[in-house]
Amino acid sequence: MEFRENEAIYLQIAAYIGDHILMGTWVLNEKIPSVRELAVSLQVNPNTVMRSYEFLQGIEIIMNKRGIGFFVMPDAKEKMTAYRKERFLGQELPEFFRNLDLLDISIDEIKQRFETFTVEKNQSEQL
């Protein structure tokens, strides 16, 4: 995983975990990798992964079963979607609009590219 400099690493790891939950790679009510396993996999300090896990526990995406490990909460998908949507609308969308304005990109051009993206995504999912 390559980390961006403009965001805390633990939040990027939390987003990575969220992606796995939203894509169904990590199934609801099932165990996720241990702190140490994920730290080795991502080549980061275990304390950073632990901070990500604590953050995700705080927003009720994962839970710690003492002595067993961390598990995906039953409603994690809905909560992660709501969290990511709120974050996108509150933080990323204003920056996106700013860039549209600065670069003189029309909503029609964005719509066209989004439609192309959707078609290509659907085609790749059918393969």
Residue-wise pLDDT tens digits, 20-71: 999 999 999 999 999 999 999 999 999 999 999 999 999 999 999 999 999 9
Instruction: Give the gyration radius of the chain's Cα atoms.
Output: 17
Residue pair 3/12 in contact by the 8 Å Cβ criterion: yes
Residue 62 corresponds to which tokens in the numbers above? 């994962």
Using the predicted structure, report yes or no on whether residue 126 has a pLDDT greater than 90: no
Residue listed under structure tokens 């996999």: 41
The predicted model gives 7-12 an average pLDDT of 95
Provide the residue ranges of all domains of the chain, joining segments of one domain with +.
9-76
Residue pair 15/23 in contact by the 8 Å Cβ criterion: no
The answer for 32, left when phi > 0, alpha when psi is -120 to 50, beta otherwise, is beta
Question: What pLDDT does 34 receive?
Answer: 96
Q: Between 3.40.50.11890, 1.20.210.10, 1.10.10.10, 1.20.1300.10, what CATH number should domain 9-76 receive? A: 1.10.10.10
pTM of the predicted model, to two decimals?
0.82
Segment (H or E) for 125: helix 107-126
